[in-house]
């Protein structure tokens, strides 16, 4: 009986201890719930909630206003949540559109080969050789700025890394035996891409889209902060940070601290989600 109890005591801690897969699923679920809550909460905040209140100018953080108030008495917590929601929507739109471009070019290059693949590889090197911020500013100015300028600029500068990953994956799949047999049986390039390649690259595409998101929202905030992105009347994080620069020297630290910290935390959270998904789809780490 004593030996059985010893065996049970030795086994039970190992059974109760969650593995990497369980911890990843729990943490990813918590991050996604928080992400959705911020997105919904920001969408529910209307213009009346951000109205001017000249009685409460520059109120420092307190229980009534956890993030304080700004130079016209607006609650900074509501402005921050609204700005994060707007940045997250822009980030999702930019990452999805960048992922679509990466998928098309990453699959088309190796499948069509020849000059097409050469041009795509040249485009990747060209875009990577130019600083993203400069390109986004130039594109934003060219299309008239605003939301359209930000989305087009960020989209056209964030497809390259994911395209490289997908292109390398497709080049490996193209040399597989079943792909060669399919080509010998007379199947078209479209059929091979749809039936043999897409199922393999979808996991990489999902991870890549999630990992593009933090870069997209940080670039959106930085371009808006410099005055080349969203207009000043939008409750964007870049606009809030730009406005706060006028008052930091007078000790109004909360105007920039909380919005900036929130933006960084959201970026880190989504980056963790992407890395967790990558671990889940990787057979070497998913079942440890």
Q: Summarize pLDDT for 208-238 with one digit per residue, the tens.
A: 898 889 888 988 888 988 888 888 888 888 8
Is residue 106 domain-resident?
Answer: yes
Sign of CA dihedral 33, 221, 124, 161: negative
In a domain, 174, yes or no: yes
Q: Would 177 be classed as within a structural domain? A: yes
How many domains does the chain divide into?
1
pLDDT tens, residue by residue, 42-84 = 888 887 778 888 888 888 898 888 998 888 888 999 999 998 9
**pLDDT: is 16 or 202 the higher one?**
202
Domain span at residue 175 reads 20-41+75-281
Q: What is the CATH number of the domain that holds 166?
A: 1.10.3720.10
| Residue 14 confidence (pLDDT) above 70 | no
Stretch among 2-16, 60-74, 191-205 having the lowest mean pLDDT: 2-16
CB-CB neighbours of 282 under 10 Å: 12
Q: For residue 53, tell me if it sits in a domain.
A: no
Please indicate, yes or no, if residue 7 is contained in any of the structural domains. no
Whole-model pTM: value is 0.81
**Residue 287: inside a domain:** no
The answer as to whether 63 is a domain residue is no
Q: Has residue 66 been placed in a domain?
A: no
């Amino acid at each position: 009986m004593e030996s059985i109890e010893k065996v049970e005591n030795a086994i039970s801690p190992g059974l109760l201890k969650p593995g990497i897969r369980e911890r990843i699923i729990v943490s990813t679920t918590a991050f996604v719930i928080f992400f959705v809550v911020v997105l919904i909460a920001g969408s529910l905040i209307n213009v009346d909630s951000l109205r001017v209140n000249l009685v409460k100018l520059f109120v420092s953080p307190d229980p009534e206003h956890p993030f304080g108030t700004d130079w016209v008495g607006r609650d900074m917590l509501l402005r921050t949540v609204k700005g994060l929601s707007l940045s997250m929507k822009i980030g999702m739109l930019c990452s999805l559109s960048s992922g679509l471009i990466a998928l098309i070019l990453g699959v088309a290059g190796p499948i069509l080969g020849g000059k097409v693949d050469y041009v795509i590889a040249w485009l990747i090197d060209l875009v990577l050789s130019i600083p993203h911020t400069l390109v986004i500013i130039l594109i934003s100015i060219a299309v008239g700025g605003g939301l359209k300028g930000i989305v087009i600029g960020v989209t056209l500068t964030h497809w390259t890394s994911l395209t490289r990953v997908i292109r390398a994956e497709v080049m490996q799949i193209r040399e597989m035996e079943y792909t060669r047999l399919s080509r010998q049986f007379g199947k078209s390039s479209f059929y091979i891409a749809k039936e043999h390649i897409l199922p393999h690259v979808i996991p990489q595409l999902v991870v890549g889209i999630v990992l593009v998101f933090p870069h997209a929202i940080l670039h959106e905030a930085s371009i808006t902060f410099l005055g080349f992105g969203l207009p000043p009347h939008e409750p964007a994080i870049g606009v809030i940070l730009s406005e706060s620069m006028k008052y930091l020297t007078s000790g109004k630290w909360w105007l920039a601290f909380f919005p900036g910290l929130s933006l960084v935390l959201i970026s880190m959270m989504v980056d963790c989600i992407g890395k967790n998904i990558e671990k889940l789809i990787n057979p070497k780490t998913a079942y440890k």
